[in-house]
Amino acid sequence: MEKFFYPGSIAVFGVSDTPSNLARIIVENLVRFGFRGDIHPVGVSGGVVAGRRVLRNIEEVRDVPELAVMLIPARYVPGTLEACGRKGIRRVILESGGFGELSDDRASLENEVCSIAGRYGMKLIGPNCFGVVNVEAGVVLPFFIINQAYVKQGSASLISQSGGVFYDTCMFCSVENVGLRKLVSIGNKLMTDENDILEYVLLDPGTVVAGLYLESFSDGRRFMGLAASTEKPVVVLKANRSEASGEIAKFHTTALAGDDDVADAAMRQAGVVRVTNFLEMVDCFKIFSLPVLEGRRLALISRSGGHGVICADAAHRYGFEFAKFSEGFMQTVMEKKLKVIAATNPLDIGDVYDLDEYGTILDAALAEEGVDGVVFVVTYSSESDGTKIREFIRHAARVTPECGKPVALCVVTNRGEWFAIKDAADFPVFTDVDQALKTLSWSYEHHLGRVKRRSASGKAGAVQSFPGIGRKTEDRRFMEPEECFSLLSRYGLPVAGHHVAKDREEALAAAARLGYPVALKTGDGSVLHKSETAGVFTGIGGPEGLARALDAISAHRYLVQKMAPAGYEIIIGGRLDREFGPVIVCGLGGIYVEVVADRSIRVAPVDDAAAAEMIGQLKGHAILKGARGKTPADIAALKDVIVKVSHLLMENPGVVNLDINPVIVHEEGRGCTIVDVKMEIAEMIDN
């Protein structure tokens, strides 16, 4: 990846000196940002662009360029790529469109590109992309005009599947005074995907936070592994939030764990900050330019009582605590106030009229052992206070990194003053208090995840690779009940005593052997929802009752089961997600499972600690613990079931859907019983 960001020389294909030519903009951007290496414009028409002669072919270049950038019609790409390969060029950014994003019939063109690149050992980014920006080295390769004022060098790196989001990041970050490190537009991800770039930027010493805009995950498990392995925050704006494909009604698990539900759970599992819009992405860049928040206790300081109340509400909403100030701090503050407003937390400093004292108050708050971070809200008149507020911002920029605590500074002023505030210092400024508190909550969650990953280092439960990522499934079939129960039993799962009988006599004999009471169910694997087809009879106390049930049920085979003791009904399910592989679902079970929709999701496999977290996240967790005087459920046995099912899913790639509903969880110390299961399997094939 290094030569994509730090090439010694660059050849740009598709350049002409006509005003409408887009490739010429790439050359002009490189010159504008002071790229120190050689720039070789290449185009069939010749001419001069940015003071450089446009060469008619790559053979006219004496040396071998370390990077080629192509913006030419798609039909000419294979020939140009072949010429680059012969020349010895091994890094190519293909910005041209007209490939798979245009129509499905372009697959042969994409295959030809991959074949040529593979033959010459080339690495390729794109196609259909804006390329790379690395301001530090003057490598600015988009084919839209970028002014040096647009892109400020900083510590936030961006990987974008969209060229439009890539462009907007440049623009919006310049407005918000956010410095950028490395930006990559990956387009169609033909040969280089988000994981390849993420792995590089996470190792980049200058990158403090990595942001991604994605419409799909190329390999979700690899992404999770990268995100979980770093101390740096990873922020994702994930679009294309569609429901899971397939016939949802067949499996509760599919309805409970749609595509976006799985992606959301996977990102939380890996410690990723998921944002919902573009503004939140940039806010993350801002907050992670500050020290990470390592505790819940905040000092809330404002120049207005109303802002203090709003601040307090937001702090409560995001789970923060109000720091308790020491007597020394309160004395320092009271010396500055006119003593017409009480000193509390939130602290109203509306009666501190000397704005030079704001820095002193901030210093005192940061020095408090009981303060983990500060929210400081300032409203002011630009005509009288602008100079002093800008100095206060510069003061905050100096002391914040020294004390190692974040200061979320919220400033509201008039139009003329707005950009003067942003330019006062390399320091993030927020407009809305809620916005600032929300970003601080992301900072604190990142800290908690970092601590958790450190303590879990080397333990079981890490995301493992899986052979089914990116592969299709075909020849699906539903397993017969006996096959399902047999597979569960091989993993030590507590299956109820049962027998599949082919006729009445065998069913009656099985019931006598198992011991009454029993349940009778259809033994046909194709019947998925037995209760909806009169395919279930429970609590059968003797042969006469069983005979009546056999007369009433319509089935080719019969499943006779020993009745399990009463308990709490839980669903344990799993499915094969196309981006993350096997996922496991735990929720309140029974016939209303989709109505209640109380569930937690994890990417498999999970360990005992993760299983405990899954159970703890359920809204019905209090019921399992023994609400209203009831005996607690055997949560330890339930955890064991979750862990074993997760390993079953990992070790049997052909299982694409699984519902164990219900798992009956008995009283504490009495285990669990699995009484019903349906499973769909398929053969996996390469795309």
pLDDT-based confidence at 534, cuts 50/70/90?
A: low
pLDDT at 264: 93
Averaged pLDDT, 275-289: 94
Mean pLDDT value across the chain: 89
> Average pLDDT, stretch 139-155?
90
Q: Percentages helix, strand, coil for the chain, rounded to the nearest 5?
A: 40, 25, 35
CB 201 within 8 A of CB 159: yes
Averaged pLDDT for residues 375-390: 86
Distance CA 237, CA 161 (A): 10
pLDDT-based confidence at 248, cuts 50/70/90?
very low
pLDDT in tens, 420-433: 888 888 899 999 99
CB atoms under 10 Å from CB of 419, counted, come to 11
Task: Evaluate if residue 559 carries a pLDDT over 80.
Answer: yes
CA angle, 560 then 566 then 567, to 5°: 120
What local confidence, expressed as pLDDT, does residue 518 receive?
A: 95
Which has the minimum average pLDDT: 282-291, 473-482, 600-609? 473-482
Amino acid residing at 647: H
Question: Given a cut of 60, is residue 643 above it in pLDDT?
Answer: yes
State residue 242's pLDDT score: 57
- Is residue 532 scored above 60 in pLDDT? no
Least confident of 146-160, 278-292, 395-409, 464-478: 464-478
Contacts of 195 (CB under 8 A, 6+ apart): 218, 219, 222, 223, 226
Residue 593's pLDDT band (cuts 50, 70, 90): low
pLDDT at 675 over 70: yes
| Cβ contacts of 137 within 8 Å, gap of 6 or more | 5, 6, 35, 36
Distances (CA, A) of 110 to 68, 91, 189, 283: 18, 17, 11, 37
Distance from C-alpha of 484 to C-alpha of 477, rounded to nearest angstrom: 12
How far is residue 616's CA from residue 124's CA, in Å, rounded to a whole number? Answer: 45
Q: Is the pLDDT of residue 439 over 80?
A: yes
pLDDT band at 461 (very low <50, low <70, confident <90, very high): very low
Residue 153 predicted with pLDDT over 80: yes
Distance of CA 512 to the CA centre of its chain: 54
Residue 526: the pLDDT is 63
- Helix or strand run (H / E) with residue 366: helix 358-367
Domains, the chain, in order of start with CATH, read 2-242 (3.40.50.720), 297-427 (3.40.50.261), 497-562 (3.30.1490.20), 568-685 (3.30.470.20)
Q: Specify the higher pLDDT residue, 342 or 47.
A: 47
DSSP letter at 495 equals B
**Model pLDDT, residue 246:** 40
Distance of CA 286 to the CA centre of its chain: 19
d(CA 431, CA 409): 8
DSSP codes, 529-558: -GGGGT-EEEEE-SHHHHHHHHHH---SSE
Q: Rounded CA gap, 251 and 656, in Å?
A: 11
